[in-house]
Amino acid sequence: SAVISQKPSRDICQRGTSLTIQCQVDSQVTMMFWYRQQPGQSLTLIATANQGSEATYESGFVIDKFPISRPNLTFSTLTVSNMSPEDSSIYLCSVRGTGREQYFGPGTRLTVT
């Protein structure tokens, strides 16, 4: 299994500002995934980030709102731009294991006021 860390673990932000979330993995991985989990809800995939190429966004998520960087095989960032209270959520990064299972980071709990 992979060990994943995320920064920050939580933040309270003003509407209209942006927050960049960092995800670090202890091994090299081809694909990294970013999920959103709203309070008491399921996990919704935002995008898949491959090293060396543009991220692939799921329906309902756009690059202008959630730009992603993937500079190397162990690191990725997700930015939540021009935030509104509806962006209050837990943001999780994950990686795929050898058997296609997923390992999740501890999450970033974002509150937008």
The set of residues, in sequence order, having a beta carbon less than 8 Å from that of 18 and lying 6+ positions away, is 79, 80, 81, 82, 83
CB of 82 to another protein, least distance (A): 26
CB of 52 to another protein, least distance (A): 19
Q: Render the burial of 38-77: b for 16+ CB within 10 Å, e for the rest.
A: eeeeeeeebbbbebeeebebeeebeeebbbbebeeebbbb
Which member of 33, 55, 68, 76 binds another protein (CB under 8 A)? 33
Which part of the chain contacts another protein (CB under 8 A), choosing from 20-28, 64-72, 74-82, 102-110? 102-110
Q: Which of residues 75-94 bind another protein (CB under 8 A)?
A: 92
Count of positions on this chain that bind another protein (CB under 8 A)? 21
Which part of the chain contacts another protein (CB under 8 A), choosing from 19-27, 42-50, 60-68, 78-86? 42-50
Place of tokens 């992603």: 68
